[in-house]
Amino acid sequence: MTNFTYDVLIIGSGPAGESAAMASAKAGKRVAVVEGRALVGGNCAHKGTIPSKSLRHMVKQIIQFKTGNLFRETGESWRMTYPRVLASANAVIPKQVELHTDFYVRNRVKLYSGFARFLDANTIAINLLEGSREEVVTADKIIIATGSRPYRPADIDFDHARIYDSDTILEMAHTPRHLIIYGAGVIGCEYASIFSGLGVKVDLINSRDRLLSFLDDEISDALSYHLRDNGVRVRHSEMYDKIEASDRGVTVYLKSGKRLTADAILWCNGRSGNTDQLNLEAIGLEPDHRGNLAVNDQYQTDVANVYAVGDVVGWPSLASASFDQGRALAAVILGKPYKEVASVPTGIYTLPEISSVGKTERELTEAKVPYEVGRCLFKNTARGQISGEDVGMLKLLFHVDTGEILGVHCFGAEAAEIVHIGQAIMSQPGEGNNINFFLNTTFNYPTMAEAYRLAALDGTNRINRR
């Protein structure tokens, strides 16, 4: 048998790479991780999930402060600058790095700081960040967990000071008065909430005819309403023709003939898998046009000992799923039972927050499933009234005949948290998944979770009235 330097070598220290590394190391494998950045945590900690969620948290605090009864009485009027809020938000990144670095140290995982590329299916050359040296290592199994980056079309000048993507927006050193956000996917909608919350005038340009069309229609409609209510100008079914930037501003020429001018533009239209620097030709792997790699249900690529997890395999491109994919892959490698990551809840940190799990009304209608809807408006919960966070709704979709919960859709305060109650019940086997759970269980009061009881009562009352 060949004597490799490592049993498992992982390229990338984001959630996918880290969880694969930890699970392999805990099982006694000799594990190494190669990370192109000087610090671990991946784009998740440095550019994506963590900084954007931290920014959003700060903005939410500012809004609460400005709109809270007590503070409003003081009559103070002030504006927070984006750089000031960003600096505060970014304080979480070093904490994340410290936490995650410790995981590698404690689990004796060798960390290489440098860029990895394949020499052959078992051999990696690492261009070390320190000393511009190259080191060559071998491994029995190699995991590609290199994540993704913002897609940058060639006709847009991303070097211009007024043109940002979701990475470079974290370096913007001023507060624009007017921002165009091009691309109304999850990232675009979240940043539209952040900037409108800071009082920036936002135009959100969507190439499709509704926002986040994978959501339940009612929730997507609610998001459109509330973004508009917060001052965002949402423009559907628009595509750019060209984008011009000058010292005075940036202009987006739309294919519809419209012309929008603002102080800056944030490009949020799609991401590409980080595969172009891996020298994949050396092992005969070819990514798709978005830079993503195809894998089978064991996260194995077309090269038997080379696997891929996280954003680089495409859907669902979430930190939450990436952690689980890494762990599932380690189980595959260790020959243990594993569960492919297939059902993932949605948690979208717009203002208001959105979360869902299971089927939408549209999907159930198309599949001809007889279902009923139970709703609870947060303004009708004691907790919503006390906290003042009374915008929002919990919606339960359940089978008319069996009571099986088929979908949970929520927007408003703590939506991404409370959806997990429904998710836990939906994952119970057999009759354990039933709307009656919420009628026969005593919840703490006053809580947002009480919304489940109220929604279940609403839904079952509709059926009982028939």
Ligand X SMILES: Cc1cc2nc3c(=O)[nH]c(=O)nc-3n(C[C@H](O)[C@H](O)[C@H](O)COP(=O)(O)OP(=O)(O)OC[C@H]3O[C@@H](n4cnc5c(N)ncnc54)[C@H](O)[C@@H]3O)c2cc1C
Ligand Y SMILES: NC(=O)c1ccc[n+]([C@@H]2O[C@H](COP(=O)([O-])OP(=O)(O)OC[C@H]3O[C@@H](n4cnc5c(N)ncnc54)[C@H](O)[C@@H]3O)[C@@H](O)[C@H]2O)c1
> Which residues contact ligand Y (rule: CB under 6 A)?
183-188, 190, 206-208, 268-271, 316-318, 347-349
Nearer Cβ to ligand Y (40/268)? 268
Distance from the Cα of residue 10 to its chain's centroid? 22
Within 10 Å of residue 106's Cβ, how many Cβ atoms?
10
DSSP one-letter string for 441-456:
SPPPSS-TTHHHHHHH
Nearer to ligand X, 274 or 301 (CB): 274
Q: Which does 322 bind (CB under 5 to 8 A by kind): ligand Y, ligand X, none?
A: ligand X
Distance CA 41, CA 102 (A): 11
Q: How far is the CB of 50 from ligand Y (least distance, A)?
A: 11
Residues in contact with ligand X by CB under 6 A are: 11-17, 34-37, 42-44, 48-49, 52-53, 115-116, 145-148, 166, 187, 274, 277-278, 310-312, 317-320, 322, 349
Shortest distance in whole angstroms from residue 421 CB to ligand X: 19
Q: Three-class SS of residue 407?
A: strand
**Angle made by CA atoms 55, 59, 65, in degrees to the nearest 5:** 150
Who's near 62: CB < 8 A, 6+ residues apart? 80, 85, 197, 198
CB 44 to ligand X: min, Å? 3
Residue 269 interacts, among ligand Y, ligand X, none and using kind-specific CB cut-offs from 5 to 8 Å, with: ligand Y
Closer CB to ligand X, 22 or 373, in the complex: 22
Nearest-approach distance from CB 126 to ligand X, in angstroms: 8
Q: How near is the Cβ of 229 to ligand Y at its closest, in Å?
A: 21
Rounded CA gap, 91 and 221, in Å? 34
Least distance from C-beta 230 to ligand X, angstroms? 19
170's contact among ligand Y, ligand X, none, with CB below 5 to 8 A by partner kind, is: none
Question: Which residue of the chain is nearest ligand Y when measured via CB?
Answer: 185
Q: Positive or negative, the Cα torsion across 201, 207, 208, 211?
A: negative
C-alpha span between 21 and 9 (Å, rounded): 8
Nearest residue (CB) to ligand X, 143 versus 180: 143
**What are the tokens at 74?**
């003081």
Q: Nearest approach, Cβ of 15 to ligand Y (angstroms)?
A: 12
List residues bridging with 243 in a β-sheet.
Answer: 252
Amino acid at 51: P
The partner in contact with residue 188, picked from ligand X, ligand Y, none with C-beta cut-offs of 5 to 8 angstroms by kind, is: ligand Y
Cβ distance to ligand Y smaller for residue 142 or 341: 341
In the bound state with ligand X, the residue whose beta carbon lies nearer, of 37 and 141, is 37
Question: Cα(18)–Cα(6) distance, rounded to whole angstroms?
Answer: 16
How large is the greatest C-alpha to C-alpha distance in the chain, in angstroms? Answer: 76
Burial (CB < 10 A; 0-12, 13-18, 19+), residue 178, is middle
How many Å from the N-terminal Cα to the C-terminal Cα in the chain? 71
- Based on CB atoms, which residue is closest to ligand Y, 219 or 376? 219
206 binds, among ligand Y, ligand X, none (CB under 5 to 8 A by kind): ligand Y
Residue 277 touches which of ligand X, ligand Y, none (CB < 5 to 8 A by kind)? ligand X
Nearest residue to ligand X on Cβ basis: 147
Q: Is 317 or 381 the residue whose CB approaches ligand X more closely?
A: 317
Query: What does 34 interact with, of ligand X, ligand Y, none (CB < 5 to 8 A by kind)?
Result: ligand X
311 touches 148 (CB < 8 A): yes
Identity (one letter) of the amino acid at 448? M
Least Cβ distance, residue 94 to ligand X (angstroms): 15
Reported as type and span, the H/E element at residue 251 is strand 250-254
